[in-house]
């Protein structure tokens, strides 16, 4: 009964903490401006299934994609076993689902194969990150915590899967020894090879089995709560993020509604003027000026760096890294959330996303080619944030690089980005 009480208490604490942390993240995301992403539900569901569940965009690199799929699907499916663990923990039973006979054998067989593949996949990823030092996984923005975070997750998954296999190995040997309560149940294609290295004492085997059982359940509950402060939150958020993806054609920019209305009034004075708000500002200075989808993007970012690896600005040595844009946005909205938690409402901290987190050199290095958007495996859009920051810089502060200001002047005077007047526009034919 003490064991059941401790298990129940740990389960309640873990779930309550996860709910509290998740609620704070949802609150932070909803600090963004409203935007409607509920149209064309069938297409959105199809996109979610293909991109998030099927990992369609990952398969541009088949080998890495297969490894990632094994780790992702394997870890998720194996934790179906958590249903049995929770029941056993709360009611003091042992392998309660073994009454399913043949189906249970199939489940344990599948779980063990997947656990082994997860271990292999995680080891490969650790080697790629730390020994082979793949370029996109060792950029400056990943120094310190982000790199540690990735390694911790991989190590944790290896430990959890190893504990699962040793738990099964000890259980299987206890079954073979005919120990009470350890009845014949399950198929063990991987852990049966671990039996020979385990002790023959039933008492020691029970200690190993119970230790691995507790290690696995506590590890999973800890992992659940670690997700809320880790980049691996994408395990959960990839699904809503791909569902709410922008279905418009890439490269199609959305005009600001207030500006559009003002232009219409200029051409047709009979139209009612747009209702103005003195506090209204154009573009994005801080995270509260972004949409909730932009903020969801930032929390969904996997920090894989595929966006930065294909960014022509980054490739040519410029400061811009689309991955850093998303990481900076997440860091800033998290800071704003802590500010609200501390003060009850947001108190100006004299910081902003523009300048304090993201420099102007970064936003003006972008070529708006959409390569980052195309490459992202979970349909994140760093370009929307960059364009918003540019709009604020120009429309609110009248600040832009000299080349941009020159282009604006030419557009105003010549109707084109170049310095030649409209009357000279055809002269190139005679040269």
CB 351 within 8 A of CB 335: yes
> How far is the C-alpha of 83 from the C-alpha of 325, rounded, in Å?
39
The whole-number average pLDDT for the span 16-34 is 96
Long-range Cβ contact pairs of 417-421 (< 8 A, separation 24 or more): none
Q: Which of 127, 148, 130, 153 is nearest to 71 (CA)?
A: 153
Which of 66-70, 215-219, 356-360, 420-424 is predicted least confidently? 420-424
Average pLDDT, the chain: 90
CA–chain centroid gap for 113, Å, is: 27
- Confidence category of residue 391, pLDDT binned at 50, 70, 90: very high
| Helix spans in 268-401 (H) | 292-300, 306-310, 312-315, 322-343, 360-365, 371-375, 382-395
HSE-up (13 A, CA, CB side) for residue 238: 22
- Confidence category of residue 277, pLDDT binned at 50, 70, 90: low
pLDDT at 143 over 70: yes
Neighbours of 37 (CB within 10 A): 16
CB 244 within 8 A of CB 379: no
pLDDT at 429 over 70: no
Helix axes 82-91, 202-226, angle to 10 degrees: 120
* Alpha-carbon dihedral sign for residues 161, 163, 168, 172: positive
Phi, psi of 399 (to 5 degrees): -115, 125
> How far is the C-alpha of 117 from the C-alpha of 189, rounded, in Å?
13
pLDDT at 257 over 80: no
At 180 the pLDDT is 82
Phi, psi of 33 (to 5 degrees): -70, 155
At 209 the pLDDT is 92
HSE-up (13 A, CA, CB side) for residue 232: 20
CA distances from 21 to 9, 27, 42, 235, 265 (A): 18, 10, 31, 16, 47
- φ/ψ region of 159 (left if φ > 0, alpha if ψ in -120 to 50, else beta) reads alpha
pLDDT in tens, 288-336: 999 999 999 999 999 999 999 999 999 999 999 999 999 999 999 999 9
Q: Which of 51, 4, 24 is nearest to 379 (CA)?
A: 51
DSSP classification of residue 229: G
The whole-number average pLDDT for the span 45-60 is 91
């Amino acid at each position: 009964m003490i064991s059941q009480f401790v298990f129940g208490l740990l389960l309640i604490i873990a779930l309550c903490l996860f709910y509290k942390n998740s609620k704070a993240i949802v609150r932070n995301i909803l600090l963004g401006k409203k935007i409607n992403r509920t149209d064309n539900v069938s297409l959105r569901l199809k996109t979610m299934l293909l991109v998030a569940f099927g990992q369609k965009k990952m398969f541009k690199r088949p080998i890495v994609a297969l490894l990632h799929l094994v780790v992702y699907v394997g870890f998720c499916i194996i934790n179906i076993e958590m249903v049995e663990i929770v029941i056993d923990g709360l009611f003091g039973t042992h392998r309660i689902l073994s009454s399913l006979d043949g189906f249970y054998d199939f489940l344990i067989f599948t779980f063990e194969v997947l656990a082994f593949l997860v271990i292999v996949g995680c080891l490969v990823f650790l080697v790629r990150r730390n020994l082979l030092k793949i370029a996109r996984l060792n950029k400056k923005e990943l120094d310190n915590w982000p790199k540690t975070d990735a390694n911790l997750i991989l190590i944790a998954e290896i430990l959890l899967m190893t504990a699962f296999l040793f738990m099964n190995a000890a259980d299987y040997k206890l079954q073979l020894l005919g120990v009470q309560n350890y009845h014949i149940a399950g198929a063990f294609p991987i852990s049966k090879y671990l039996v020979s290295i385990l002790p023959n004492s039933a008492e020691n085997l029970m200690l190993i089995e119970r230790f691995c059982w507790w290690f696995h359940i506590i590890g999973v509950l800890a992992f659940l709560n670690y997700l809320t402060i880790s980049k691996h939150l994408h395990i959960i958020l990839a699904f809503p993020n791909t569902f709410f993806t922008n279905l418009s054609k890439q490269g199609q920019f959305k005009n600001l509604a207030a500006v559009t209305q003002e232009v219409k009034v200029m051409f047709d004075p009979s139209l009612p003027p747009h209702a103005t708000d003195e506090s209204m500002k154009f573009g994005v200075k801080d995270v509260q000026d972004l949409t909730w989808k932009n903020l969801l993007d930032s929390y969904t970012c996997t920090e894989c760096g595929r966006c930065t690896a294909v960014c022509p600005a980054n490739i040519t040595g410029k400061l811009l890294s689309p991955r850093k844009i998303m990481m900076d946005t997440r860091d800033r909205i998290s800071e704003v959330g802590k500010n609200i938690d501390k003060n009850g409402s947001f108190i100006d901290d004299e910081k902003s996303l523009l300048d304090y987190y993201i420099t102007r050199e970064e936003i003006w290095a972008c070529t708006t080619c959409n390569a980052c958007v195309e490459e992202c495996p979970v349909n994140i859009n760093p370009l929307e944030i960059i364009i918003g920051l540019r709009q604020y810089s120009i429309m609110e502060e009248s600040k832009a690089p000299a080349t941009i200001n020159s282009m604006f002047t030419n557009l105003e005077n010549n109707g084109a980005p170049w310095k030649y007047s409209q009357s000279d526009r055809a002269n190139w034919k005679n040269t």
